Amino acid sequence: MTELQRQTLRAALDCVIPPDDFLGAWEAGVGNYLALQFEGDLAPQMTFYLAGLDGLEAEAIARFGNHFFSLGPEDQNSILQSVESGAVNTSWTISPQKFFKLMVETAAEGYYSNPEQGGNIGEVSWTMTGFSKYGPV
């Protein structure tokens, strides 16, 4: 993963699960989760995923003349919405919708599942939802 792809990833993940009173995806370790998964179950999909990140960057350049990670949240979300629906402005080598679904689902997996898998640092999502707040361990 190039530094640019890493920055695109960080910005995109924080749109998928933004920070508010509780950590956003990146601070909660979703990047760690993905790094582990790309060495494991998701290894066959890594090239696909990176092509999707390149696609996000290309959309940002085409539409706003700037890096995806440099855009404000409104413009970033606008790009993500068009990727989600497949209405992209540039030529994609992969299906934008499939990339988007993979990005959203794996972000949720990292954010909401066991901290041992790399994400959900400090059980942030389990505290936020109440899963670990109530009842026996």
Partner 1 sequence: MKDFDAIIVGTGAGGGIVACVLAEAGKRVLLLERGHALSFAEVSRDQLRNQRLAIYGHNAGPDIEANPRVFIDPLGNRRIVKPHELDYHNNAACLGGGTRVYGAQAWRFSPDDFRMASKYGVPPSSSLADWPITYEELEPYYERVEWELGVAGDGSNLQAQIPRKRDYPLPPVPPGPQSTALREGARALGWVVSPVPLLINTAPYNNRPACIECKYCVGFACPSDAKNGTQNTVIPRALASGNCELVTDAIAEKIQTDSSGNAIGISYIGQSSTVPQRQEARAKVVIISAGAIESARILLNSTSTQHQFGLGNEHDQVGRNLQGHLYPRAYGIAAASVFNGVGPGVSIATTQFNHDNDGIIGGGMLADDFIKPPIDFWYDSLPPDLPRWGLRNKQFMRDNYTRVLHVRGPVQDIPNPEGRVTVDPSVKDRWGIPVARLSGTTHEETITAAEFMRERGEEWLRASGCETVWSTRPELMLSGRQHQAGTCRMGDDPGSSVTDKWGRVHSHDNLFVVDGSLHVTNGGFNPVLTIMALAYRSADYIANSII
Candidates 3-11, 14-22, 51-59, 87-95: pick the segment binding partner 1 (CB under 8 A). 14-22
Among 10, 18, 75, 82, binds partner 1 (CB under 8 A): 18
> How many Cα atoms within 13 Å fall on the side-chain side of residue 40?
9
Binding residues for partner 1, rule CB under 8 A, total 32
User: Measured in whole angstroms, how far is the alpha carbon of residue 116 from the centre of its chain?
Assistant: 19
Which 3 state secondary structure label does DSSP give 92? coil
Minimum CB distance to partner 1 smaller for 25 or for 60: 25
CB of 53 to partner 1, least distance (A): 16
Residues 73-102 that bind partner 1 (CB under 8 A): 77, 80, 84
Going by C-alpha positions, the residue among 109, 95, 90 that lies closest to residue 16 is 109
Q: Is the dihedral of CA 83, 85, 89, 93 positive or negative?
A: positive
Which 3 state secondary structure label does DSSP give 113? coil
CB of 15 to partner 1, least distance (A): 7
The answer to whether the beta carbons of residues 24 and 13 sit under 8 Å apart is yes
Footprint of partner 1 on this chain (CB under 8 A)?
A: 15-18, 20, 22, 40-41, 77, 80, 84, 104-105, 107-109, 112-114, 117, 125-126, 128-137
